[in-house]
Protein backbone atom coordinates (compact mmCIF):
# COMPACT_ATOMS: atom_id res chain seq x y z
CA UNK A 1 0.00 0.00 0.00
CA UNK A 2 1.36 3.40 -0.96
CA UNK A 3 2.49 5.52 1.98
CA UNK A 4 1.93 9.30 1.74
CA UNK A 5 3.65 11.26 4.52
CA UNK A 6 2.83 14.91 5.21
CA UNK A 7 5.16 16.87 7.50
CA UNK A 8 3.52 19.92 9.05
CA UNK A 9 -0.01 20.25 10.37
CA UNK A 10 -0.61 23.89 9.55
CA UNK A 11 -3.49 25.17 7.43
CA UNK A 12 -2.31 23.48 4.23
CA UNK A 13 -0.84 20.28 5.66
CA UNK A 14 -3.82 19.45 7.86
CA UNK A 15 -6.34 20.19 5.09
CA UNK A 16 -4.41 17.92 2.71
CA UNK A 17 -4.14 15.09 5.25
CA UNK A 18 -7.87 15.36 5.96
CA UNK A 19 -8.88 15.23 2.29
CA UNK A 20 -6.50 12.36 1.46
CA UNK A 21 -7.61 10.49 4.58
CA UNK A 22 -11.25 10.73 3.60
CA UNK A 23 -10.61 9.73 -0.02
CA UNK A 24 -7.76 7.22 0.15
CA UNK A 25 -7.12 6.41 3.80
CA UNK A 26 -10.62 5.27 4.74
CA UNK A 27 -10.81 3.10 1.63
CA UNK A 28 -7.43 1.47 2.36
CA UNK A 29 -6.11 2.68 -0.99
CA UNK A 30 -3.16 4.44 0.65
CA UNK A 31 -1.73 4.98 4.10
CA UNK A 32 -1.79 8.65 5.07
CA UNK A 33 0.60 9.85 7.80
CA UNK A 34 0.68 13.36 9.29
CA UNK A 35 3.68 14.49 11.35
CA UNK A 36 3.80 17.61 13.50
CA UNK A 37 5.87 18.79 16.45
CA UNK A 38 2.74 19.73 18.42
CA UNK A 39 -0.24 17.61 19.48
CA UNK A 40 -2.81 20.24 18.43
CA UNK A 41 -3.55 22.63 15.55
CA UNK A 42 -4.47 26.29 15.74
CA UNK A 43 -5.00 28.44 12.64
CA UNK A 44 -1.88 30.63 12.51
CA UNK A 45 -3.67 33.90 11.55
CA UNK A 46 -5.34 33.73 14.98
CA UNK A 47 -2.10 33.84 16.98
CA UNK A 48 -2.23 37.61 17.51
CA UNK A 49 -5.62 37.13 19.19
CA UNK A 50 -4.17 34.44 21.45
CA UNK A 51 -1.33 36.82 22.32
CA UNK A 52 -3.71 39.56 23.46
CA UNK A 53 -6.22 37.25 25.15
CA UNK A 54 -9.00 37.92 22.65
CA UNK A 55 -9.00 34.17 21.86
CA UNK A 56 -8.67 31.21 24.20
CA UNK A 57 -6.50 28.70 22.34
CA UNK A 58 -7.83 25.87 24.50
CA UNK A 59 -11.25 26.28 22.89
CA UNK A 60 -10.26 26.68 19.23
CA UNK A 61 -7.38 24.21 18.97
CA UNK A 62 -7.86 20.84 17.24
CA UNK A 63 -6.27 17.57 18.39
CA UNK A 64 -4.43 15.91 15.50
CA UNK A 65 -4.74 12.36 16.78
CA UNK A 66 -8.49 12.52 17.38
CA UNK A 67 -9.04 14.31 14.04
CA UNK A 68 -6.99 11.68 12.22
CA UNK A 69 -8.99 8.86 13.79
CA UNK A 70 -12.19 10.45 12.48
CA UNK A 71 -10.92 11.28 9.00
CA UNK A 72 -8.78 8.33 7.99
CA UNK A 73 -5.16 9.31 8.61
CA UNK A 74 -2.54 8.45 11.23
CA UNK A 75 -0.74 11.07 13.33
CA UNK A 76 2.79 10.97 14.69
CA UNK A 77 4.17 13.67 16.97
CA UNK A 78 7.73 14.66 16.17
CA UNK A 79 9.98 17.39 14.82
CA UNK A 80 11.64 16.80 11.46
CA UNK A 81 15.42 17.21 11.62
CA UNK A 82 16.63 15.55 8.44
CA UNK A 83 15.85 13.60 5.28
CA UNK A 84 17.31 10.35 3.93
CA UNK A 85 16.33 10.51 0.26
CA UNK A 86 18.23 7.34 -0.69
CA UNK A 87 16.12 5.22 1.68
CA UNK A 88 13.06 7.52 1.40
CA UNK A 89 12.86 8.25 5.12
CA UNK A 90 12.05 11.34 7.20
CA UNK A 91 14.27 11.75 10.28
CA UNK A 92 12.52 12.89 13.48
CA UNK A 93 14.64 14.22 16.35
CA UNK A 94 14.34 12.83 19.87
CA UNK A 95 11.46 14.26 21.91
CA UNK A 96 12.25 15.49 25.43
CA UNK A 97 9.97 16.54 28.29
CA UNK A 98 10.26 19.76 30.33
CA UNK A 99 12.87 18.15 32.60
CA UNK A 100 15.03 17.12 29.63
CA UNK A 101 14.19 13.43 29.90
CA UNK A 102 13.69 11.52 26.65
CA UNK A 103 10.08 10.69 25.81
CA UNK A 104 10.66 9.39 22.28
CA UNK A 105 14.01 8.51 20.75
CA UNK A 106 15.10 9.61 17.27
CA UNK A 107 12.92 7.89 14.69
CA UNK A 108 12.70 7.39 10.95
CA UNK A 109 9.43 7.38 9.02
CA UNK A 110 9.37 5.75 5.59
CA UNK A 111 7.48 7.28 2.67
CA UNK A 112 6.61 6.64 -0.94
CA UNK A 113 5.40 10.21 -1.47
CA UNK A 114 6.45 13.04 0.85
CA UNK A 115 4.76 16.42 1.22
CA UNK A 116 6.58 19.11 3.20
CA UNK A 117 4.20 21.69 4.68
CA UNK A 118 6.40 22.91 7.51
CA UNK A 119 5.38 26.56 7.25
CA UNK A 120 7.58 29.50 8.17
CA UNK A 121 9.17 31.33 11.08
CA UNK A 122 9.76 35.02 11.61
CA UNK A 123 12.88 36.38 9.89
CA UNK A 124 14.85 38.76 12.11
CA UNK A 125 17.41 39.30 9.29
CA UNK A 126 20.23 38.82 11.80
CA UNK A 127 19.37 42.03 13.65
CA UNK A 128 21.52 42.43 16.74
CA UNK A 129 19.66 41.59 19.95
CA UNK A 130 16.40 40.59 18.26
CA UNK A 131 16.49 36.98 19.48
CA UNK A 132 17.37 38.03 23.03
CA UNK A 133 14.96 40.92 23.56
CA UNK A 134 11.99 40.43 21.19
CA UNK A 135 8.89 38.28 21.24
CA UNK A 136 8.10 36.23 18.12
CA UNK A 137 4.60 34.97 17.35
CA UNK A 138 5.31 31.81 15.35
CA UNK A 139 3.54 29.32 17.63
CA UNK A 140 0.75 28.98 20.15
CA UNK A 141 3.32 28.59 22.93
CA UNK A 142 4.98 31.90 22.02
CA UNK A 143 1.61 33.65 21.79
CA UNK A 144 0.53 32.35 25.20
CA UNK A 145 3.86 33.38 26.76
CA UNK A 146 3.40 36.89 25.37
CA UNK A 147 -0.14 36.92 26.77
CA UNK A 148 1.13 36.24 30.29
CA UNK A 149 3.85 38.87 29.90
CA UNK A 150 1.28 41.36 28.66
CA UNK A 151 -1.10 40.73 31.57
CA UNK A 152 1.74 41.20 34.05
CA UNK A 153 2.77 44.44 32.35
CA UNK A 154 -0.80 45.77 32.62
CA UNK A 155 -0.90 44.77 36.30
CA UNK A 156 2.31 46.70 36.96
CA UNK A 157 1.01 49.74 35.09
CA UNK A 158 -2.28 49.63 36.99
CA UNK A 159 -0.45 49.39 40.34
CA UNK A 160 1.95 52.22 39.49
CA UNK A 161 -0.59 55.01 40.07
CA UNK A 162 0.95 57.60 42.36
CA UNK A 163 -0.87 59.77 44.87
CA UNK A 164 -1.48 62.44 42.24
CA UNK A 165 -3.07 59.87 39.92
CA UNK A 166 -0.17 59.61 37.45
CA UNK A 167 0.14 56.20 35.84
CA UNK A 168 3.27 54.73 34.30
CA UNK A 169 2.89 54.33 30.53
CA UNK A 170 3.10 50.85 29.03
CA UNK A 171 5.28 51.13 25.95
CA UNK A 172 5.04 48.38 23.31
CA UNK A 173 6.91 48.46 19.99
CA UNK A 174 6.16 46.16 17.05
CA UNK A 175 8.64 45.77 14.19
CA UNK A 176 6.92 44.88 10.93
CA UNK A 177 3.71 46.45 9.65
CA UNK A 178 2.37 43.50 7.73
CA UNK A 179 -0.94 41.89 8.65
CA UNK A 180 0.35 40.46 11.96
CA UNK A 181 1.84 43.73 13.20
CA UNK A 182 -1.17 45.81 12.20
CA UNK A 183 -3.73 43.41 13.68
CA UNK A 184 -1.75 43.03 16.91
CA UNK A 185 -1.54 46.82 17.32
CA UNK A 186 -5.33 47.16 17.24
CA UNK A 187 -5.94 44.15 19.49
CA UNK A 188 -3.69 45.63 22.18
CA UNK A 189 -6.00 48.64 22.54
CA UNK A 190 -9.00 46.35 22.75
CA UNK A 191 -7.23 44.43 25.55
CA UNK A 192 -6.59 47.66 27.46
CA UNK A 193 -10.22 48.76 27.22
CA UNK A 194 -11.54 45.37 28.34
CA UNK A 195 -9.15 45.24 31.32
CA UNK A 196 -10.37 48.66 32.43
CA UNK A 197 -13.96 47.42 32.27
CA UNK A 198 -12.97 44.40 34.40
CA UNK A 199 -11.68 46.47 37.27
CA UNK A 200 -8.25 47.90 36.50
CA UNK A 201 -9.55 51.36 37.37
CA UNK A 202 -6.15 53.03 37.50
CA UNK A 203 -5.40 52.02 33.94
CA UNK A 204 -6.38 54.16 30.96
CA UNK A 205 -6.18 53.13 27.31
CA UNK A 206 -4.22 56.34 26.66
CA UNK A 207 -1.49 55.00 28.94
CA UNK A 208 -0.87 52.30 26.35
CA UNK A 209 1.78 53.56 23.95
CA UNK A 210 2.05 51.30 20.89
CA UNK A 211 4.59 52.07 18.17
CA UNK A 212 4.30 50.24 14.84
CA UNK A 213 7.57 50.28 12.93
CA UNK A 214 7.95 49.65 9.20
CA UNK A 215 11.14 49.88 7.12
CA UNK A 216 9.17 50.61 3.94
CA UNK A 217 7.21 53.67 2.86
CA UNK A 218 3.85 52.46 4.17
CA UNK A 219 2.22 49.81 6.31
CA UNK A 220 0.67 46.72 4.70
CA UNK A 221 3.03 46.96 1.69
CA UNK A 222 1.49 43.86 0.07
CA UNK A 223 -1.90 45.59 -0.22
CA UNK A 224 -3.02 48.51 -2.42
CA UNK A 225 -1.98 51.99 -1.17
CA UNK A 226 -5.55 53.12 -0.44
CA UNK A 227 -6.06 50.17 1.93
CA UNK A 228 -2.76 50.94 3.61
CA UNK A 229 -3.85 54.56 4.06
CA UNK A 230 -7.23 53.52 5.51
CA UNK A 231 -5.56 51.18 8.01
CA UNK A 232 -3.09 53.91 9.00
CA UNK A 233 -5.93 56.33 9.74
CA UNK A 234 -7.76 53.76 11.87
CA UNK A 235 -4.63 52.89 13.85
CA UNK A 236 -3.78 56.52 14.51
CA UNK A 237 -7.32 57.11 15.78
CA UNK A 238 -6.71 54.40 18.38
CA UNK A 239 -3.46 56.02 19.45
CA UNK A 240 -0.90 53.90 17.59
CA UNK A 241 2.25 55.76 16.54
CA UNK A 242 2.99 54.62 13.00
CA UNK A 243 6.63 55.01 11.98
CA UNK A 244 7.46 54.21 8.36
CA UNK A 245 10.84 54.46 6.62
CA UNK A 246 12.38 53.36 9.91
CA UNK A 247 15.07 50.67 9.74
CA UNK A 248 15.89 48.88 12.99
CA UNK A 249 19.58 48.14 13.53
CA UNK A 250 19.47 46.64 17.02
CA UNK A 251 17.15 45.56 19.81
CA UNK A 252 18.04 46.27 23.43
CA UNK A 253 16.49 45.71 26.83
CA UNK A 254 15.05 49.24 26.67
CA UNK A 255 13.80 49.34 23.07
CA UNK A 256 15.12 49.61 19.53
CA UNK A 257 17.94 51.50 17.85
CA UNK A 258 17.34 52.88 14.36
CA UNK A 259 19.57 53.47 11.35
CA UNK A 260 19.31 57.25 11.73
CA UNK A 261 20.93 56.98 15.18
CA UNK A 262 17.58 57.36 16.92
CA UNK A 263 15.96 55.12 19.52
CA UNK A 264 12.45 53.89 20.31
CA UNK A 265 11.68 53.16 23.95
CA UNK A 266 9.64 50.03 24.68
CA UNK A 267 9.16 47.69 27.61
CA UNK A 268 7.66 44.97 25.39
CA UNK A 269 9.12 44.36 21.95
CA UNK A 270 7.56 42.22 19.20
CA UNK A 271 9.32 41.23 15.97
CA UNK A 272 6.85 40.56 13.14
CA UNK A 273 8.90 41.57 10.09
CA UNK A 274 9.48 39.04 7.35
CA UNK A 275 9.19 35.26 7.15
CA UNK A 276 11.50 32.43 6.16
CA UNK A 277 11.38 28.65 6.16
CA UNK A 278 13.20 26.90 9.04
CA UNK A 279 16.99 26.82 8.65
CA UNK A 280 17.23 23.01 8.47
CA UNK A 281 15.44 23.09 5.10
CA UNK A 282 18.76 24.06 3.51
CA UNK A 283 20.30 20.79 4.75
CA UNK A 284 17.88 18.42 2.97
CA UNK A 285 19.82 18.23 -0.30
CA UNK A 286 17.02 20.00 -2.22
CA UNK A 287 17.19 23.36 -3.97
CA UNK A 288 16.22 26.31 -1.73
CA UNK A 289 16.08 30.08 -2.14
CA UNK A 290 17.44 32.86 0.10
CA UNK A 291 14.46 32.47 2.46
CA UNK A 292 15.21 28.74 2.94
CA UNK A 293 12.10 27.84 0.91
CA UNK A 294 12.10 24.73 -1.27
CA UNK A 295 12.00 25.60 -4.96
CA UNK A 296 9.11 23.75 -6.62
CA UNK A 297 7.77 23.54 -10.16
CA UNK A 298 4.25 24.34 -11.36
CA UNK A 299 3.03 21.03 -9.93
CA UNK A 300 4.50 21.89 -6.48
CA UNK A 301 7.09 19.17 -7.02
CA UNK A 302 10.73 19.58 -5.92
CA UNK A 303 13.68 18.31 -7.94
CA UNK A 304 12.95 14.94 -6.32
CA UNK A 305 9.86 13.58 -8.06
CA UNK A 306 8.71 11.90 -4.84
CA UNK A 307 8.82 15.07 -2.74
CA UNK A 308 6.30 17.94 -2.90
CA UNK A 309 6.05 21.15 -0.88
CA UNK A 310 3.27 23.62 -0.16
CA UNK A 311 2.59 26.76 1.85
CA UNK A 312 5.18 29.11 3.32
CA UNK A 313 8.06 26.61 3.01
CA UNK A 314 7.63 26.39 -0.79
CA UNK A 315 8.64 28.85 -3.50
CA UNK A 316 6.83 28.68 -6.83
CA UNK A 317 7.11 31.36 -9.49
CA UNK A 318 3.89 32.36 -11.23
CA UNK A 319 3.63 33.16 -14.93
CA UNK A 320 4.34 36.85 -14.20
CA UNK A 321 7.60 35.90 -12.52
CA UNK A 322 6.39 36.71 -9.02
CA UNK A 323 6.41 34.06 -6.27
CA UNK A 324 3.18 32.82 -4.73
CA UNK A 325 2.79 34.96 -1.58
CA UNK A 326 3.08 33.33 1.88
CA UNK A 327 -0.61 33.61 2.82
CA UNK A 328 -3.14 31.26 4.35
CA UNK A 329 -5.25 31.41 1.18
CA UNK A 330 -2.26 30.23 -0.88
CA UNK A 331 -1.74 27.23 1.44
CA UNK A 332 -5.46 26.45 1.22
CA UNK A 333 -5.41 26.52 -2.60
CA UNK A 334 -2.22 24.47 -2.77
CA UNK A 335 -3.64 21.84 -0.41
CA UNK A 336 -6.69 21.47 -2.67
CA UNK A 337 -4.43 21.26 -5.73
CA UNK A 338 -2.14 18.62 -4.19
CA UNK A 339 -5.16 16.57 -3.18
CA UNK A 340 -6.10 16.30 -6.85
CA UNK A 341 -2.47 15.91 -7.96
CA UNK A 342 -1.65 13.10 -5.53
CA UNK A 343 -4.82 11.25 -6.46
CA UNK A 344 -3.79 11.57 -10.11
CA UNK A 345 -0.29 10.33 -9.25
CA UNK A 346 -1.81 7.42 -7.32
CA UNK A 347 -3.69 6.46 -10.50
CA UNK A 348 -0.59 6.97 -12.72
CA UNK A 349 -2.07 10.04 -14.41
CA UNK A 350 -0.22 13.29 -15.33
CA UNK A 351 0.17 15.93 -12.61
CA UNK A 352 -1.90 19.11 -13.09
CA UNK A 353 -0.28 22.53 -12.76
CA UNK A 354 -1.10 24.85 -9.87
CA UNK A 355 -2.48 28.32 -10.62
CA UNK A 356 -2.74 30.75 -7.71
CA UNK A 357 -5.88 32.89 -7.68
CA UNK A 358 -5.58 36.00 -5.52
CA UNK A 359 -8.91 36.40 -3.73
CA UNK A 360 -7.77 39.61 -2.03
CA UNK A 361 -6.59 40.33 1.49
CA UNK A 362 -8.33 41.49 4.64
CA UNK A 363 -6.89 42.95 7.83
CA UNK A 364 -8.87 42.95 11.08
CA UNK A 365 -8.39 45.95 13.39
CA UNK A 366 -9.97 44.10 16.31
CA UNK A 367 -13.57 45.19 16.99
CA UNK A 368 -12.88 48.68 15.66
CA UNK A 369 -12.78 48.02 11.93
CA UNK A 370 -11.78 45.67 9.14
CA UNK A 371 -10.24 46.80 5.85
CA UNK A 372 -9.14 44.98 2.75
CA UNK A 373 -9.65 44.23 -0.91
CA UNK A 374 -11.46 41.61 -2.93
CA UNK A 375 -10.15 40.57 -6.32
CA UNK A 376 -11.72 38.56 -9.09
CA UNK A 377 -12.37 38.21 -12.78
CA UNK A 378 -15.19 40.73 -12.62
CA UNK A 379 -13.08 43.56 -11.21
CA UNK A 380 -10.14 45.45 -12.60
CA UNK A 381 -7.45 45.24 -9.99
CA UNK A 382 -9.27 45.17 -6.69
CA UNK A 383 -12.38 46.31 -4.88
CA UNK A 384 -11.83 47.92 -1.50
CA UNK A 385 -14.16 46.98 1.34
CA UNK A 386 -14.26 47.94 5.01
CA UNK A 387 -16.51 47.93 8.04
CA UNK A 388 -19.09 45.22 8.75
CA UNK A 389 -18.96 43.70 5.27
CA UNK A 390 -15.21 43.35 5.45
CA UNK A 391 -15.49 41.84 8.95
CA UNK A 392 -18.02 39.28 7.67
CA UNK A 393 -15.71 38.26 4.83
CA UNK A 394 -12.74 38.11 7.23
CA UNK A 395 -14.54 35.72 9.56
CA UNK A 396 -15.66 33.62 6.60
CA UNK A 397 -12.01 32.87 5.74
CA UNK A 398 -11.63 30.99 9.01
CA UNK A 399 -14.96 29.26 8.45
CA UNK A 400 -13.73 28.03 5.06
CA UNK A 401 -10.73 26.50 6.79
CA UNK A 402 -13.03 24.79 9.29
CA UNK A 403 -15.30 23.53 6.49
CA UNK A 404 -12.28 21.95 4.78
CA UNK A 405 -11.48 20.14 8.01
CA UNK A 406 -14.90 19.29 9.42
CA UNK A 407 -17.57 19.74 6.75
CA UNK A 408 -20.50 22.16 6.72
CA UNK A 409 -22.63 20.81 9.58
CA UNK A 410 -19.78 20.46 12.04
CA UNK A 411 -18.59 23.98 11.18
CA UNK A 412 -22.11 25.31 11.70
CA UNK A 413 -22.13 23.79 15.19
CA UNK A 414 -18.68 25.24 15.93
CA UNK A 415 -19.94 28.66 14.85
CA UNK A 416 -22.96 28.30 17.14
CA UNK A 417 -20.73 27.32 20.06
CA UNK A 418 -18.56 30.34 19.34
CA UNK A 419 -21.56 32.67 19.60
CA UNK A 420 -22.66 31.02 22.86
CA UNK A 421 -19.17 31.43 24.32
CA UNK A 422 -19.30 35.15 23.57
CA UNK A 423 -22.32 35.35 25.86
CA UNK A 424 -21.25 33.09 28.73
CA UNK A 425 -17.46 33.61 28.79
CA UNK A 426 -15.39 36.73 29.59
CA UNK A 427 -14.59 39.00 26.65
CA UNK A 428 -10.91 38.44 27.34
CA UNK A 429 -8.81 35.57 28.66
CA UNK A 430 -7.73 36.92 32.05
CA UNK A 431 -5.22 34.24 33.10
Residue 163 has pLDDT above 60, yes or no: no
- Domains defined for the chain, CATH in brackets: 2-120+277-346 (3.50.50.60), 130-271 (3.50.50.60), 360-423 (no CATH)
pLDDT at 235 over 60: yes
Give Cα separations from 29 to 24, 173, 347, 377 (angstroms): 5, 52, 11, 38
- 376 pLDDT higher than 60: no
pLDDT of residue 368: 85
Kindly tell me if the per-residue pLDDT of 383 is higher than 70. no
Question: In this predicted model, what pLDDT tens digit does every residue of 338-355 receive, in sequence order?
Answer: 999 999 998 889 999 999
Residue 31 pLDDT > 90, yes or no?
yes
pLDDT of residue 390: 67
Strand order in the sheet with 255-258: 248-252, 255-258, 263-265
Tens digit of pLDDT for each residue in 151-162? 998 888 888 765
Cα–Cα dist 231/420, whole Å: 30
Tell which residue, 213, 210, 203, has the closest CA to residue 239. 210
pLDDT attached to residue 314 = 96
Q: State the chain's mean pLDDT as an integer.
A: 90
Residues 370 and 364 sit within 8 Å (Cβ to Cβ) = yes
**What's the pLDDT at 375?**
60
For residue 108, the cross-strand partners are 91
Which pLDDT tens digit goes with each residue over 2-21? 999 999 999 999 999 999 99
Q: Which of 49-53, 223-227, 371-375 has the lowest mean pLDDT?
A: 371-375
pLDDT in tens, 317-334: 998 888 998 888 899 999
Radius of gyration in angstroms for the set of CA atoms belonging to the chain, rounded to a whole number: 22
State the pTM of this model. 0.91
Q: Is pLDDT at 290 greater than 50 in this prediction? A: yes
List Cβ neighbours of 357 (8 Å cut-off, separation of 6 or more). Answer: 333
Give me the residues paired with residue 83 across strands: 90
Amino acid sequence: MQRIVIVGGGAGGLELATQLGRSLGRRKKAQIELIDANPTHLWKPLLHEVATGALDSGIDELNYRAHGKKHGFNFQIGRMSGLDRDNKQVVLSAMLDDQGDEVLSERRVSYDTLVLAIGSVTNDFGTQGAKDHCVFLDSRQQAEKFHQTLLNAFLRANASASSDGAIQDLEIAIVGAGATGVELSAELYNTAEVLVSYGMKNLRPENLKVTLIEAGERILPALPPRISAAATRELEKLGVTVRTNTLITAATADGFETKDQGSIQARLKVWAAGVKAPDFMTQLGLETNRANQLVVNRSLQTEDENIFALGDCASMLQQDGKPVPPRAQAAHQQASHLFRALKARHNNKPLPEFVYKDKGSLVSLSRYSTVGSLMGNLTRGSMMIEGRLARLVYVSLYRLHQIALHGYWHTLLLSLVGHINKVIRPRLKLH
